[in-house]
Structure 1
């Protein structure tokens, strides 16, 4: 199985040992198939380097995560999806008060 994990899963995992996000990442690591794109790798590393995040995360978990990320399969993004995952954000662009990523 090949898996893509959201940056928030990784951040949550380095905040608390044995949390559900931590266990999910460990499972993916043990079973292989972690995918990354250049953009997701840059995003994750920049988020983890933020002072407010780095101050509250477990350093050894950050190091383990960096090693796992280095071993992930790099894939090229073929198509950019612009649909929002949050139904509340499925509002016409002209009426939005916040951007849809």
Structure 2
């Protein structure tokens, strides 16, 4: 599993977070903000790829987000991600999602050997066959933010 950095050791679960949740989590007051707080507090280990990061920074640079994020904010986030996240380079390609743009999240989750793919995408969350395949063949769950935060709380209580 090649990576570009050696993030600090985190005791929490390894996760992939979809781009929309990541952006929403950065907005103050969003329902997904606790997810970003858990990552920033090193309660989970973020696994991502250069492709996902390119998408994230492209989204954050869009005009509609300029009132929320300055260039300095985006630069600071970039530094934090490169310091704390594990950046992997998936070599296995899949074509399993109804929306082919979602396949990259599965590829990163597979290559990164994560425990959870956290998403707000109903296509992924509602596809029981896909969820079963990912769990059985690759050992990770596809779940939403509320479910993940509940699980994280249970893991931390043990």
Structure 2 gaps of 5+ residues are 1-12, 99-122, 128-158
Structure 1 gaps of 5+ residues are 91-101
Is 1:79 equivalent to 2:115 in the alignment? no
Matches within 5 A, 1:1-101: 1-14=13-26, 16-30=27-41, 31-55=43-67, 57-59=68-70, 62=74, 65-71=77-83, 72-84=85-97, 86=123
Structure that is richer in strand per residue: 2
Q: State whether residues 57 and 74 of structure 2, in contact with CA within 8 Å, keep that contact through their aligned partners in structure 1.
A: no
The list of structure 1 runs, each at least 4 consecutive aligned residues, that deviate by more than 6 angstroms after superposition, is: none
RMSD: 2.6
Q: TM-score, normalised by structure 1?
A: 0.67
The Cα of 1:26 is off from its aligned counterpart by 1.3
**In 1, distance between residues paired with 2:34 and 2:75?**
16
**Distance 1:19-1:64 versus aligned 2 partners, 3 A rule:** farther
What does the per-residue CA deviation read over 1:28-55, in whole Å, with 9 as the maximum and x for residues that have no partner?
2321411110100111011101112223
Count, aligned residues = 86
